[in-house]
Amino acid sequence: MIDITLLGTGGGMPMVNRFLSATLLNFKGRKILIDCGEGTQVAMRKFKTGFKAIDIICITHFHGDHIFGLPGLLSTMGNSERTEPITIIGPSGLTKILNGLLLSLSYFPYDIHIIEEPKKPLGIKVGMGRLEIEEINNSDDSMDCDMVVNTVELEHSCSCTGYSFYVKRMPKFIPEKAELNNVPKEVWKILQKGKTAKYNGKEYSPDMVLGEERRGIKLSYITDTRPTEAIVDFISESDLFICEGTYGANEDLDKAVANKHMTFEEAATLALKGNVYELLLTHFSPSVDEPETFKENATRIFPNTVIGYDGMRKLLNYR
């Protein structure tokens, strides 16, 4: 299960009724933060999400409405006696940007690990009381992961990255099948995890005890971009597709093109083409005071569309 909180749904500049871009994922008691716009700390306190358990921060790009809250948050985490390392992921140039943002912060009581422009999927495991992340080099590596993170290059006015988070679901364990195949009970737990096992000189494989493959949970997060065919493939079959809806009105398409953003209609078209289950719109322009006013521009194309708001929570579970 993934517990999602929209901390900020605004884009461009801070508004009195809307925080800037930030989304928090709670997974097995630990947290992943996507973007960290100005005011993210305040939003965390307002919506009572906490911040001490954040192990991974995913940055989509380096515009201020997505990163200006980062120095303050990292400083507060340090002042709160955090000692476990934090991993920050982002597009090309991440290291340089972080060095500039954190110039005035001379000391952190924890290490910051940087993954810049990842070329391979990233595997997340829950270990040692926190989320550990590393590149996946082969299929065997992915078997040991609790979550797999993939990225896609987007089309914005600067380097921009989209993210997907996939939580695997192991096939159902079937005791009757194990007994039929004379699999000793001593290796059942190993096979349940999808690994082969040896016992008394004989090798046993997971297919001897497991049923058919079962779909997991997929969350895709795309913001600050024009629609592209690469996005369609990337978000395919997502349970939840969180997407920017910078402009609600179709009449603002020229602005969307010029500023490399999307309209509600364009986001809904991506959701339809990607065959996602639910579309959640976020990242609204300051000019879009009441996003619900434009909801029909999305729902007439993709009916299962939800308008995001600050503090909204979504629980993703296996379907």
Please, what is the Cα angle at 213 between 209 and 217, to 5 degrees?
Answer: 130
Band the pLDDT of 144: cuts 50, 70, 90. confident
Residue of 65, 239, 252, 310 with catalytic role: 65
What does DSSP assign to residue 207?
A: G
Whole-model pTM over 0.85:
yes
Mean pLDDT over the full length of the chain = 94
Place of tokens 């695997």: 168
Place of tokens 């493939």: 233
Per the document, the length of the chain is 319
Q: What are phi and psi of 272, to 5 degrees?
A: -65, -50
Residue 169: per-residue pLDDT? 87
Q: How far apart are CA 276 and CA 270, in angstroms?
A: 9
Band the pLDDT of 107: cuts 50, 70, 90. confident
> What domains are defined for the chain?
1-151 (3.60.15.10), 175-208 (no CATH), 226-308 (no CATH)
Residue 166: per-residue pLDDT? 97
Q: Is the pLDDT of residue 141 over 70?
A: no
Place of tokens 């914005």: 156
Known catalytic residue at 65: yes
